[in-house]
Amino acid sequence: MHEYGLVALVGILFIENMGLVFAPGESMVVAAGFLAGRGVLPVWPSATAAIIATTLGSYLAWWLGDRYGHPLVIRYGRYIGITAPRWEKAHQFFNRFGPVVVAGGRFIVPLRQLQGYVAGSAEMRFRSFALWSSLGAIMWVICWGGIAFWLADQMPIGH
């Protein structure tokens, strides 16, 4: 983070939110908040970049899920335990609770990374997904980055 700054932040958050489960997105937001609190990174550009990268990564995942998800689940789902009745039940659940899952799912690994695919596959309308995904991204970045920003001043660091 110290060497690559916003480029690292944007890159990691984008690929994590487009579905790379093991990308350290939360760690990057915490590190960026801490470094912003110490004056190493600019606060508002860091927060804005994190929110935009997080949101755009999930938009790409939604598009991929919308475009390819349903046919892939129907064709290959049985190999990982997704039967037609299970898929229908998941689809109904997502149609009923999609906004809460999308916004709140930002705080749950691996739901944060997979929610775009699931929402697209479950045929959640993009407008609704975009709204709730953006709101969730804002809350997630402000929460984790804000806590780290606040704690940066509270922690003594030896040299």
- Per-residue pLDDT at 2: 65
Q: Grade residue 158 by pLDDT with cuts at 50, 70 and 90.
A: low
Instruction: Kindly report which listed range (18-22, 54-58, 70-74, 117-121) carries the lowest average pLDDT score.
Output: 70-74
Provide CB contacts within 8 A for 139, sequence distance 6+.
103, 106
Helix axes 111-121, 84-104, angle to 10 degrees: 120
The SS3 assignment for 19 reads coil
Query: Cα(145)–Cα(118) distance, rounded to whole angstroms?
Result: 26
Do 23 and 15 contact (CB within 8 A), yes or no?
A: yes
CB atoms under 10 Å from CB of 86, counted, come to: 13
Asked if pLDDT for residue 101 goes beyond 80, the answer is yes
pLDDT band at 159 (very low <50, low <70, confident <90, very high): low
Least confident of 11-15, 16-20, 93-97, 130-134: 93-97
Are the C-beta atoms of residues 13 and 29 closer than 8 Å to each other?
A: yes
pTM: 0.87
pLDDT at residue 86, rounded to an integer:
81
Please state, rounded to an integer, the average pLDDT across all residues of the chain.
90
User: In whole angstroms, what is the distance from residue 154 CA to residue 147 CA?
Assistant: 11
Q: Is residue 1 predicted with pLDDT exceeding 70?
A: no
Predicted confidence band at 4 (pLDDT cuts at 50, 70, 90)? Answer: confident
Q: What is the pLDDT of residue 156?
A: 79
What span, in angstroms and rounded, lies between the C-alpha atoms of 117 and 138? 20
Between the alpha carbon of residue 124 and those of residues 64, 92, 95, 156, the distances in Å are 13, 11, 7, 47
